[in-house]
Amino acid sequence: QVQLQESGPGLVKPSGTLSLTCAVSGGSISNSNWWSWVRQPPGKGLEWIGEIFHSGSTHYKTSLKSRVTISLDKSKNQFSLKLRSVTAADTAVYYCAINRGNNAFDIWGQGTMVTVSS
C-alpha cells in the first residue's frame, strides 16, 4: 500500500522560498508514475501545481512556471516542491499525489499547511 507524507516549514517569509518534501512509502519513486503537487488556498478550490515523471520530465502550471521546481530524490525515495518568491497568495494546504497510470490522482498525502507571512 503506497503512502505519501508531506513535510516542510509551516511558515515562510514573503519573497522567500517554499520547500516541501513528499516521502513515499510502500512503493518506489522509480516506478512509472507521475508524482504531483496540488494546493488549496484557505476556503478555495484545488489548484494543480505540477508533476514529474520517474524519468525526470516535468509539467508546471503556466502561471507558476517561472517560480516552481519539482524534483525527484531516488536515493531517499521522495520528491520535492520548491516555490520561489512567495507572496501571501501562495498560502495554502499543499498536497502531494500520485497518478499511477489511470489518468487520475489515486493516492494523496494528508496535506501540509504553509502560511506566507512576515
Partner 1 sequence: QSVLTQPPSVSAAPGQKVTISCSGSSSNIGNNYVSWYQQLPGTAPKLLIYENNKRPSGIPDRFSGSKSGTSATLGITGLQTGDEADYYCETWDSSLSVGVFGGGTKLTVL
- Exposed / middle / buried, residue 108 (Cβ in 10 Å: 0-12, 13-18, 19+): middle
Judge whether 26 and 43 are in contact, CB under 8 Å: no
From 36, 78, 80, 91, residue interacting with partner 1 (rule: CB under 8 A)? 36
Q: How far is the CB of 75 from partner 1 (least distance, A)?
A: 27
Judge whether 24 and 4 are in contact, CB under 8 Å: yes
Task: Answer yes or no whether residue 35 interacts with partner 1 by CB under 8 A.
Answer: no
- Kindly determine how many residues on this chain lie close enough to bind partner 1 according to the rule CB under 8 A: 21
Task: Answer yes or no whether residue 61 interacts with partner 1 by CB under 8 A.
Answer: yes
Residues 96, 21: Cα–Cα separation, whole Å: 9
Residue 107 pairs in a beta bridge with 98
The residues in 76-105 that bind partner 1, with binding defined as CB under 8 A, are 95, 102-105
Q: How far is the CB of 16 from partner 1 (least distance, A)?
A: 25
Q: Which stretches of the chain bind partner 1, using CB under 8 A?
A: 36, 38, 45-48, 51, 59-62, 95, 102-106, 108-111
